[in-house]
């Protein structure tokens, strides 16, 4: 007959095994996710400069392009563009087979798990695009189950917020929604657009999303934001739970809309900040030249703590946890034996 001490030890060991192998215990251990810091580019192929500015993602990538080798050599991940939807006719313009072929080319070329930018701003002209994008996402997943679909969503890009559609019309249609809000038109930048969008995103419970900063102008109704205004945009998005962000744009697009008006120094500063700080800033730091004091107080990304991470990984590893549980069980059994001997 096993005594109660032994039972206690075995029970503890069993619990340790359950935790270490991920059997549901009311919580789960999660790793650190590197945030996306992306840049839209058009003619520029200055991959080393973009990486040096702190970006890790860039547009117009994939093994189906001539940009792949240069981007990869610079440590950049290229998002693959699929010109698959027309915002004028509100219809899918690439056949399923053509979409699947591009995905398969990337898988064969070693770029499995790529992010696919499908069209652009599909609700701009009032298109009810969710069904089409849901279908195209399924085509991408069928060709590469590890791939992710992505689209820039401009539903919050109207300064007259009463014109915004209800809810999130594109929710569930792609793996990642990236909300572009360009708040700097005539007069002061309307940062309340960002604040209201964050409230809407949180109300919907959306967890897989990114945001896009305005760093272009003049173009159509938008003026060029200052360096301080680009940094302030980030400040209003910071800590909202996004997976990352993109900056539009590094150079002039075909419209043309001049890009990178804030200057690369501002982009480097933004890219050095935490997207979702774990703790608020306590003591503001002095503002560097060209950056507002409000934006300079943003929380910097925490420095890597390799030693602590290594200890944590060992302490929480299956071997360490199982061993600890078994050792505790043996100690309890040993104490029970000693008690019986000396009664």
- The pLDDT value given to residue 42: 96
Separation between Cα atoms, residue 178 and residue 244, nearest integer Å: 9
- Are the C-beta atoms of 270 and 295 separated by less than 8 Å? no
Exposure string over 40-73, b if 16+ CB within 10 A, otherwise e? bbbebeebeebbebbbbbbbbbbbbbebbebbbe
Phi/psi at 151 (5° precision): -150, 145
- The pLDDT value given to residue 99: 98
- The pLDDT value given to residue 325: 58
- The pLDDT value given to residue 278: 81
- Written as six digits, the tokens of 177 are 């929604």
Query: Residue ranges of the chain with pLDDT lower than 50?
Result: 1-31, 279-319, 321, 338
Sheet order of strands, 148-153 included: 77-78, 57-58, 36-39, 244-248, 209-214, 176-180, 148-153, 115-118, 80-82
- Written as six digits, the tokens of 172 are 């569930």
- The pLDDT value given to residue 76: 98
- Are the C-beta atoms of 156 and 193 separated by less than 8 Å? yes
82 bridge partner residues: 118
81 bridge partner residues: 117
- Are the C-beta atoms of 175 and 169 separated by less than 8 Å? no
- Are the C-beta atoms of 85 and 129 separated by less than 8 Å? yes
- Written as six digits, the tokens of 285 are 């730091």
DSSP state for residue 162 in the 8-state scheme: G
- The pLDDT value given to residue 327: 63
Burial class (CB in 10 A: 0-12, 13-18, 19+), 145: exposed
Q: What is the pTM of this model?
A: 0.75
- The pLDDT value given to residue 305: 41
Helices assigned H by DSSP within 4-46: 4-20
Helices assigned H by DSSP within 144-260: 192-204, 227-237
CA angle 235, 286, 230 (to 5 degrees): 30
- The pLDDT value given to residue 125: 84
């Amino acid at each position: 007959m096993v005594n109660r001490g032994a039972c206690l030890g075995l029970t503890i060991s069993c619990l340790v095994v359950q935790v270490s192998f991920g059997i549901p215990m009311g919580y789960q251990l999660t790793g650190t996710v590197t945030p996306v810091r992306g840049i839209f580019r058009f003619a520029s192929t200055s991959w080393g400069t973009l990486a040096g500015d702190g970006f890790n993602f860039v547009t117009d990538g994939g093994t189906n392009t001539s940009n792949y080798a240069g981007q990869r050599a610079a440590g950049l991940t290229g998002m693959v563009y699929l010109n698959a939807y027309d915002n004028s006719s509100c219809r899918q313009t690439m056949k399923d087979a053509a979409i699947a072929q591009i995905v398969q080319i990337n898988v064969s070329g070693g770029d499995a798990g790529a992010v696919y930018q499908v069209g652009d701003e599909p609700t701009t002209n009032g298109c009810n695009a969710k069904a089409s994008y849901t279908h195209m996402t399924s085509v991408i997943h069928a060709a590469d189950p590890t791939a992710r679909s992505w689209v820039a969503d401009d539903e919050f890009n109207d300064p007259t917020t009463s014109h915004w559609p209800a809810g999130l019309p594109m929710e569930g249609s792609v793996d990642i929604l990236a909300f572009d809000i360009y708040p700097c038109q005539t007069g002061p930048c309307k940062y309340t657009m960002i604040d209201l969008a964050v409230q809407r995103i949180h109300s919907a419970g959306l967890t897989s999303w990114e945001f896009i900063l305005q760093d272009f102008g003049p173009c159509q109704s938008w003026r060029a934001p200052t360096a301080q205004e680009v940094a302030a945009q980030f400040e209003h998005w910071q800590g909202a739970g996004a997976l990352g962000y993109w900056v539009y744009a590094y150079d002039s697009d075909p419209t043309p809309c001049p890009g990178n008006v804030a200057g690369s120094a501002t982009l480097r500063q933004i890219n050095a900040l935490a997207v979702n700080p774990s703790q608020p800033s306590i003591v503001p730091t002095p503002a560097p030249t060209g950056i507002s004091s409000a934006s300079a107080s943003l929380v910097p990304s925490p420095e890597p703590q390799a030693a602590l991470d290594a200890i944590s990984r060992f302490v929480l590893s299956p071997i360490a946890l199982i061993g600890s549980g078994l050792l505790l069980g043996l100690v309890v059994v040993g104490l029970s034996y000693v008690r019986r001997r000396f009664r």
